[in-house]
Structure 1
Amino acid sequence: MARAWRQSKNRIVKNVFCLSCLFILPLLLLAIVVYSKSKHAESLPIARDLSNQKSDSSFQKFFNLIVLIMSDPTKSATREAIRQTWLSNNHEDVKHLFVVGSKGLAQDVLKNVLDENSSYHDMVILESINESYSSLTGKVLAGFQWLHSNHNFSFLLKCDDDSFVQMSPLIAELNKQPQKHLYWGFFKGGSSVFQRGKWKEKDWFLCDTYLPYALGGGYILSSDLVEFIATNALLLQQYKSEDVSVGVWLSPLKIHRVHDVRFDTEFKSRGCYNEYLITHKQSANEMREKQANLTKTGKLCQSELRVRYSYNYNWTVLPSQCCKNFDPELP
């Protein structure tokens, strides 16, 4: 009798234990998932948009083109030159935003940024981004994430604060490009991976050369590609160069890669041609000079000048052979 009672008691304890597992294990798994997500979420840069506190109403407004200009917090004079030159002609369906990082800024610099934004309402401040070359890829990625979450748009132009853009011709040409899956800029392929200096890619392991990418002085992405990058941000490997990183992130996709010699977006300007839609490595004075030329003559350059040769990207060959045919006839 006692033996039967003990067996019955053991069965009851075992059943109670099993029932407890059914309730406790799911709770433990949920806790682990939440904790894991919270850790990953904390690793993402926090973006604070001070250009428009009512992001919901901003999202409802549609823009054909949003211009994200990567800028250093201390370069208020450069931003002012840009506002006075190539951003001075208003386009109703175009919005511009200067993207700056504020982590670790001196209080006087941060105050100047906040005061500047109070006057112009055109800045996105990334509170978890240090301003340095090594954080540029994270800055661009965070800007894409913020943009995807806060605005409704068709295209993004990412450029630097030393780029001059002919906005009206660019918009006119944009209407001729594929409206979806567009990656438009001046492409480079087959370049050797940097092994030293500030461009050193210590995490690069894909192959012996960089994958094809549009140079970072200015490139355009359709909103669906921005969405792809933003929604997969946690899974994306960040490399030292932001333009190289974007090329890698988009490399497996079936998209329209459009190489355009009118994007003078290399590490050094190729000169001055009236056809250029974007010209990189421009000082504030050079921007003002180009804007004055456009106002007076309708042409970008006082006289066209070639400093370096250009090329048409050959998509029919391997990247190592893509960009060797320099053509003196190209701008």
Structure 2
Amino acid sequence: MSQHGIHTVDTAFQRDHFDACYLIVENGRGAFVDCGTNHSVPLLLEAIARAGLTPADIDWLLVTHIHLDHAGGAGLLLQHLPNARAVAHPRAAPHLIDPSRIVAGATAVYGEAEIARSYGQVQPVAAERVVVAADGHVVDHNGRPLLCLDTPGHARHHYCVWDARSVCWFTGDTFGLSYRELDGPQGAFILPTSSPVQFEPDALKQSIARLLAYQPQGMYLTHYGRVGETYAQVEQLAQALYEQINAMAKLGQDFESHPDRHGKLLEGLTALYQQRAREAQVPLDEAQVHEALAMDIELNAQGLACWLDRARR
């Protein structure tokens, strides 16, 4: 079922309902926001068929940022979409055309075996098929404007996509993570993502405020799905993100010089999210909450460390 022609596609990265991309259909033409990995490509082609389109009907692939769970499959996907062009942040576009540096960076974090397993061989995108989206760039999706706004904080090569038709943002990782199994009686349980290597707390809060200025009715997250049905709900989620970004930054500063900094960050982040999960009456026990968030806790600890080290330099 789609709302405003927006189809949520599970890219099957890591597990079900962990990593989404979106197919926006407008009068018989399609645009993807993000695309997952090489392994996701068959699922995106199936989604095109389910929406009653063909690969030739897809005009755009908007890549919110270049992290491989969002854009790793871009080169391979475009080999199947003869008319589509990729839209990338000015800092991201060179890495779509030559992905070697981004793959090397991810390999340093995850190791070669994990890169091969999770992402496959990342393919380049031909330079002539890449459109550079500076702040305020508007993609004309068959008469439906999609506005790209620069939103650093999670990464400096990140934009979010405003769709006035649905009164919603496609937020990549700027508006955090929210897994549906953690939904509580008050709705979505949300947390920021500070994954390596460009987390900047103040910039992230400013980016969230920039999104709120449009009074969105909902947010389409990569991890995972839509959150919020009204502006009041979105504003409440933003408040939760602000509080946690501040708490995470304080945690980083508290343990900046600790000999076991990484261990202390893992411990502190776990305690922070467990406490908030209890307050939100998340329907999982502590062990299940930890299982759902273990990878994000590890990455957030690494991201905080990158931020602390960069500030020190």
TM normalised by structure 1 equals 0.27
Larger Rg: 1
> Quick one: higher RCO (CA 8 Å, sep 6+), 1 or 2?
1
Normalised TM-score (structure 2): 0.28
